[in-house]
Structure formats: C-alpha cells, structure tokens
Amino acid sequence: MFVALQHPEKPAASKVPTTMNTHWTPRLFLSSPDRTGQTAPTEKWGVKILLQGRRHTFSLRAETKDAAAAEARIIYDTILAEGWDAVLRAHALPDQTDDHTSPMNVEYWKERLIVRRYRFPATGGTDKDWAVRIDHAGTGFWFPLGTPEVESAAAKARRIHEAVTKDGWESAADQFSRELIINFEWCSNPILWTYTTIHTLVDSLAGEADSASSSAGVNPVIIVEADAGIRRALQWCVDQQPGFCSISCASPEMLAPMLPVHKPVLILLNRSLAERVGVELSGGLAMIKPGTMALGYSVSVDGDQMFVSTPGGAEGYMLKRVKPSGLLEPISGAVRLINTGSEDFLGGIKSYFKELLRPNLGGDTSALSRLTPRENDVLALLAKGCVDKEISTALGISIWTVHGHIKKIFERLHVRTRTEAVVRYLEK
C-alpha cells in the first residue's frame, strides 16, 4: 500500500505535525519487489512523498519502523529546506529510474529536448541537434547536446543535470558546453548594440589561440574574460574576422603588462571585470590609451534576459544580431580611426548602424533641408545623446515644445524612432 504525504499546509486528518516521527509511522509500508516485479529476499521500509507538485517513492535504509519514520521525516525536511534535487542525490536508488517524473530517468529528459535556432560553427554539429534547458538552485542555462539522436541527447542531458546537482554549476560549466548570448555595447545613447550566440568551448574543443604578437597588417584584440569556455569562444569569433587576431587574457590583473607587448587596437572586456581593470565603461567605447579602445560586453543566458538588461533612459535603441564570424563588423571600416580619437572612431561605428537602417529610411537626404532652424537644433542635440529635459534647458524652451519639435521631425523625415532620426542626421 502506498500513501501520499501532503504538504504541511494541507495536513492529514490526524493533525500531527510533520516534524514529529509519529506523523510518518502510519505512512510507512513494507515493499520488496525488484524491477522485474519478483520478490526480493529482504523487505525494506518505504514511503511515498508528494510535495511541491512532485511525487517520489523512497526505499529507506533504516531497519526498524521507528528509525524509518525518523528517516522519512528527515527526507521531508530536506526537501523543504534544499529542494528535491538535494534529496534525490542523497537517496538515489535503482528503482527510481523507472519514475518518468525523476530527472534521474532518461525518459524525463526526452520530453524536454528542443532544437535551438542558432548554431555555433566552432562546435560543428547540425541544425537538427538537440539542446536542453537545465535549472537548479535558481539558475538555468541552455546546453547544446551535439547530436540529433534522441537517446544520446537525453542521456547526455541526464549527465549534465547530475554534474550540476552533484558538483555545482562551475564544475558543470567546465565539462559541458553552454549556449550564451554575448552583447557588445558600442554606444550608450542612442543604444547601439550587436549580439551573437556562442557555445562555450570545453574539452576537445578547448584549443586556445597563442598569445603571440600579431603579424604585420593584423590588428590584435585582447579578450579579458575569466570564464575559459567563453574566452575560447570569443577567440574563435575574433579570429574569423579578416584583419584581426585574438589574444587571451584570463585575468584582469594580467592585462597591464600585456599592453606594451601586444599593442592591441581593441580590448574586449567583460563588464563585470571592468572595475578590476580600472576602466570605466558607461555603456560605450572607452579609450585605454592612444590607439587602444576598450569595448564592454555582457553575457546573457538568452535573448529575453539580454533585452531585460538593456539600460533604461536612452532615447533610441538598435540591437543587431550578427553571426559569430562577424563579431567585429561595426569596426571593420573604422579601425584606422582609432588613433584620431574616440569621437571619430565612434562616428565610424555609427555609420555602420546607419547603413543598416538605410533600406528603411529610403535615402532621401533632402528631407533634412525641410527642417526648420529650431528643428535642426533639436535634432543636433538628439544626435549628441541629449534627453528631452537637457534639450529643453539648452534651447530655453519648454519640454512640451521639445516634444512638439520631435514629432514634426519624425513627420518631415518619415521616421518612427529617435534612433532613425539621428541616423538620418548623420547622413548629411
């Protein structure tokens, strides 16, 4: 006989607290069938627990009924305090592999396989390969499974989950490739970002580029990233871009002595490490020294998280997905401007985004000539990243008048956003 245990908010009729062993004594049962349904020589106490929408049968180690009741109570308390995964790790038993609701069962993972839209060429594979989302302790990641075979994919998903729950996320990240989104923050106002999907490179895919000086005509890019899998993936991306080569920097403290040796034109810097490097990243490019710029990037689990993390307050947004092999597209034509100053360099990057919008803008630059002098003043300040209140103060007009001018600018230029209006302004 199996008895389901209820949540404390819905106590059994006896009203005995679940913290007392006496609550569990009548809920124990003796069971001895093995996986084939035949009777094993020795019976053991068992208990079935239903809690938080999950149900599981546990075979208890205790030999006496009182000790088994105490063990059942401990299992229940552990679920409440640490969650189901902690209990399943400690009480994994062969007969639980038949429970399709258990993550220990390969069948459990078959129902959770999905084909993701974006591949990462560095890891090979096909567009039919499975992936799986694994969540634990409030954190979750997508894992590419590298195979279109359901059985193999589900078995790997089970191994990943076991590594996560047993050894923690850091250990699992060292063993298994994760899918991540990297977004590069070229400009803060208007927000001009590119982003791409990578798979972290681990194990046999973990060959790391040499940190040797670049050859003539090749622009060195130092990647400052503590996570080895992310760093290797970004190195692969940079090395696919004509005219660039990657240099690995695993620690922010290693960067300073590398600068005079490699003379990089660009430093890709994880925003979470910027303070340790001594660089202030305000959402755009930062000058490290003449000839060297720093570009901040952030790491997101998926696109939803990336969009949520986009800073508020900007007057316009443009987020462009690029291929991993086109990571540095925005500066492919602007590298020569680095030595001329950050403003010129940023202008080259804005030209890249301007070209992306050109098909939507129709290329009618004559529309700018139809703006009034005041509308031109407002648009010029918009192009500098000023918000409405700053424009109001600079021109000595009310904020409502500013709103009216911006509306007229949209109508005259046939645009719908402030970013499009600024890009049109940059065309002149």
Q: pLDDT (tens digit, 9 = 90+) per residue, 247-258?
A: 999 999 999 999
Q: From 3.40.50.10860, 1.10.10.10, 3.90.25.10, 1.20.20.10, which CATH number describes the 362-426 domain? A: 1.10.10.10
User: Whole-model pTM?
Assistant: 0.61
Q: Are 345 and 415 in contact (CB under 8 A)?
A: no
Give ranges for CATH 1.10.10.10 in the chain.
362-426
H/E element holding 352?
helix 342-361
CA 329 to chain centre: 21
In CATH, the number for domain 179-351 is 3.40.50.2300
Q: Which residues of the chain have pLDDT under 70?
A: 1-20, 31-42, 89-101, 204-217, 283, 312-316, 333-344, 357-366, 426-428
The pairing of beta strand 179-188 with beta strand 191-199: antiparallel
The whole-number pLDDT of residue 248 equals 94
Q: Which residues contact 220 (CB under 8 A, 6 or more apart)?
A: 213, 214, 244, 245, 247, 262, 263, 264, 265
The whole-number pLDDT of residue 210 equals 44
The whole-number pLDDT of residue 216 equals 55
The whole-number pLDDT of residue 224 equals 95
Give ranges for CATH 3.40.50.2300 in the chain.
179-351
Q: Are 379 and 425 in contact (CB under 8 A)?
A: yes
The predicted-structure confidence for 316-338, as pLDDT tens digits, reads as follows: 677 888 899 988 888 876 666 55
The whole-number pLDDT of residue 359 equals 52
Distance, CA of 95 to CA of 186 (rounded, Å): 55
**Cis ω on the peptide bond leading into residue 190 (within 30° of 0)?**
yes
Q: Which of 376, 358, 364 is nearest to 318 (CA)?
A: 358
The whole-number pLDDT of residue 158 equals 93
Which amino acid, 58?
F
The whole-number pLDDT of residue 287 equals 79
Give residue 269's region: left, alpha or beta (phi > 0; psi -120 to 50).
beta
Q: Are 344 and 290 in contact (CB under 8 A)?
A: no
